[in-house]
Amino acid sequence: SPSRCSVIIIGAGVSGISTAKVLAENGVEDITILEASDRIGGRIRKEGFGGFSVELGAGWIAGVGGKESNPVWELADKSGLRTCFSDYSNARYNIYDKSGKIFPSGIAADSYKKAVESAIQKLRNDEANPCGGDLSKGTEPPSMPKTPMELAIDFVLHDFEMAEVEPISTYLDFGEREFLVADERGYEFLLYKMAADFLFTSEGKILDSRLKLNKVVRELQHSRNGVTVKTEDGSVYEASYVISSVSIGVLKSQLISFNPPLPKWKTDAIEKCDVMVYTKIFLKFPYKFWPCGPGKEFFLYAHERRGYYTFWQHMENAYPGSNILVVTLTNGESKRVEGQPDGDTLKEAMGVLRDMFGPNIPDATDILVPRWWNNRFQCGSYSNYPIISNDDVVQNIKAPVGRIFFTGEHTSVRFNGYVHGGYLAGIDTGKALLEEMEKEKKEMERKSDNQ
Ligand code: FAD
């Protein structure tokens, strides 16, 4: 029969590693970490591209310089991770139209201000009237973005961040600054450092047999006595408790079946949380043809189709001389390019760049298109709770079901969607499980005393 350990952790992303670390540091060392892919890190992932290390997943440490210190910023500081400051606020002054003209800054700033006001108005309307319906009580319907410039601004405001519209806890608590990770060792270096605190490593490699890679969990059988975990390759593991750190997209996908099934309050909550798809496409060029210098890191392309290769960034600040551009797509556009050959995506991107910079720019020599949506161990980029939702949804997504506990960025009430959200959620779930184990131990002692 399979050997039994105290806790099985499903997934070795930031939340899985941080939860395992909390357990190990508190004396629960007979743990098993089952990770579906062949590496740790999950949505923190670097890849070599055009001679540099680029981040396909999380790229920024968001929320720095505020009254409280962002724990991920502290980890980065301790590890000497190389980062550089990112200033998005100039993007609105670098909006190109299809003929390559930059919109005058006054017009762009004005349009931006209007878009923020209208988004705030819409939020108020929705709060006053959460089920939609008629807006009779003196509220004005906000104007819809129509022109390519308005659409570009709308995309930045809504598909990136709403910080100017709605207070975001990350910026409130940790500060408004964001730093891009620009380190050859990758953002994931932080995870290796964390893992090395409690797993056996040698020469930078994790050799601890408690971490099992290429183990795709497919079934959880749970009862009052414990949990049996079955993986795709036919292995069976038993534990007193399981912590699942798989993404909200994976929970929705039903890659893992639960036996007995999850209760309705749980599946309803999982249903209510949206999955955001966010795709950074990297392009390598023989030389640079875009403006650099202060205020030029980000630029926008205004097209009549919302989100069509709108948001651009050059990598010269991170890696001078890299000649790499990044364009970010989201949701529908992300899914569309994931489904087509990269050559087609390259042609589209070059068409857009020639609109902005003229016909004589060189072709990209390489392209990298991450596929977070079609990766069955991710099924999306991060959780996105409806703006007008109550904390019950997150609480229900986080709440344990019998001996199965849940963690991951999507279980973080304040910081979902961020690396620090995953990190803090892992600590939180680890502590909750330790308390539960303590309770169970006392209960057992009480029972044996009574016998
Ligand atoms: P994951 O990292 O997804 O870890 C879960 C692990 O479970 C994975 O390793 C997965 O392989 C594994 N798994 C899945 N299914 C199974 C199974 N059946 N059996 C076993 N293992 C399984 N955050 C920021 O703070 N700043 C950013 O700039 C930023 N940008 C982002 C950009 C992109 C493109 C993406 C995708 C994310 C971004 N994020 C950013 C969000 C951040 O990356 C995540 O919030 C965080 O990494 C999630 O960690 P996690 O541990 O919750 O989940």
pLDDT tier at 204, thresholds 50, 70, 90: confident
Question: Please, what sign has the CA dihedral across residues 308, 342, 276, 193?
Answer: negative
Known binding residue 22? Answer is: no
Instruction: Give the pLDDT score at 386.
Output: 80
User: Could you tell me the pTM of the whole model?
Assistant: 0.95
Ligand 1 touching residue 424 (CB < 6 A): no
- The Cα–Cα gap between 59 and 180 comes to 6
Ligand 1 touching residue 396 (CB < 6 A): no
- The Cα–Cα gap between 60 and 84 comes to 9
Residue 379 C-alpha to ligand 1 middle, in angstroms?
10
Instruction: Give the pLDDT score at 121.
Output: 86
pLDDT tier at 158, thresholds 50, 70, 90: confident
Instruction: Give the pLDDT score at 423.
Output: 98
Greater pLDDT, 73 or 156: 73
> For residue 40, which atom of ligand 1 is closest to its CA?
9
Best mutation site among 236, 246, 281 for ligand 1 pocket (most ligand atoms within 8 Å of CB): 246
Listed in sequence order, the residues at least 6 apart from 59 whose beta carbon sits closer than 8 Å to its beta carbon are 180, 181, 187, 280
And the tokens for 215? Answer: 């183990």
Ligand 1 touching residue 278 (CB < 6 A): yes
With a threshold of 0.95, tell me whether the complex ipTM lies above it.
yes
Domain spans of the chain, in order of start: 4-45+187-273+385-450, 60-72+82-131+139-182+276-368
Known binding residue 304? Answer is: no
The answer to whether the bond into 167 is cis (omega within 30° of 0) is no
Q: Are 151 and 302 in contact (CB under 8 A)?
A: yes
Ligand 1 touching residue 248 (CB < 6 A): no
Ligand 1 touching residue 331 (CB < 6 A): no
Res. 228: pLDDT tops 80: yes
Tell me the fold of 60-72+82-131+139-182+276-368: Polyamine Oxidase; Chain A, domain 2 (3.90.660)
Instruction: Give the pLDDT score at 126.
Output: 78
* Separation of first and last alpha carbons in the chain: 30
pLDDT in tens, 76-134: 999 999 999 998 888 889 999 999 999 998 999 999 999 988 888 888 887 777 665 55
- The Cα–Cα gap between 424 and 428 comes to 6
pLDDT in tens, 405-427: 999 999 999 999 999 999 999 99
Known binding residue 36? Answer is: yes
**Average pLDDT score over the chain:** 93
Helix (H, G, I), strand (E, B) or coil at 343: helix
pLDDT in tens, 382-408: 999 887 667 899 999 999 999 999 999
Residue 244 C-alpha to ligand 1 middle, in angstroms?
13
Pick the CATH number of 4-45+187-273+385-450 from 3.50.50.60, 3.40.50.920, 3.30.70.2970, 3.30.200.20: 3.50.50.60
DSSP code for 261: P
Ligand 1 touching residue 96 (CB < 6 A): no
Region for 214 from its dihedrals, namely left if φ exceeds 0, alpha if ψ lies in -120 to 50, beta otherwise: left
> For residue 425, which atom of ligand 1 is closest to its CA?
52
Known binding residue 35? Answer is: yes
Ligand 1 touching residue 217 (CB < 6 A): yes
Instruction: Give the pLDDT score at 178.
Output: 94
